Amino acid sequence: MRSEGSVHGKRTASGVEIGGWLLKANPDVWDVIGHLAAGRVIDGWGVAEGYRAELMAPGDRCFVWVTGPRGASWMPGIWAAGVVTARPVPTRERRRLRVGLDVRPLDPVLPRSELRSDPRFAAAEVLRVPRMGNPLILTPTEVAAVDDHLTQA
């Protein structure tokens, strides 16, 4: 599942190279922790309409980030990893799309604190702009940092 370079040479509107996608999950909204703890695959996800969603394509790396405040009863960080399996398609919800995924639980979880302390990940969108909507990007360097932490686990 290791990836080198960008996601098919894609870049954000401001020119930042995209190495993978990060989808945030709020356990207060959906029991993502229970879903993943049961070993279940995540096969789709809601994302906002926009150019970023249009860039998502089958084979792109994808990670699920479980959000949480300091002192949460769960560990915020990356809880699942996999790939995009289908381009986003419209849903009944206004301005929402659903992207196909094959994302599987990680064991162990990759904690936010560990990633925040890695200089290759410290400037990630999820840490700089935590209220930004899905999908967020990871640069190739940030994906490499995640991969390195996962291989050390």
Average pLDDT over residues 28-54: 94
Q: Higher-confidence residue: 72 or 86?
A: 86
SS3 140: helix
143 assigned to some structural domain = yes
130 assigned to some structural domain = yes
- 71: pLDDT confidence band, cut at 50, 70 and 90? confident
8 assigned to some structural domain = no
Domain assignment of residue 91, given as a range: 20-152
Phi, psi of 133 (to 5 degrees): -80, 165
Predicted structure pTM score: 0.92
pLDDT at 1 over 60: no
Q: What is the mean pLDDT of the chain?
A: 92
Alpha helices in the chain (DSSP H): 32-37, 51-55, 112-116, 125-128, 140-152
Looking up residue 51, the CATH number of its domain turns out to be 3.10.590.10
Query: What pLDDT is attached to residue 6?
Result: 58
pLDDT at 92 over 70: yes
pLDDT at 59 over 90: yes
pLDDT at 25 over 90: yes
Residue 86, both tokens: 């289908």
Query: What pLDDT is attached to residue 112?
Result: 96
Peptide bond before 135: cis, by omega within 30 degrees of 0? yes
6 assigned to some structural domain = no
Domain count of the fold of the chain: 1
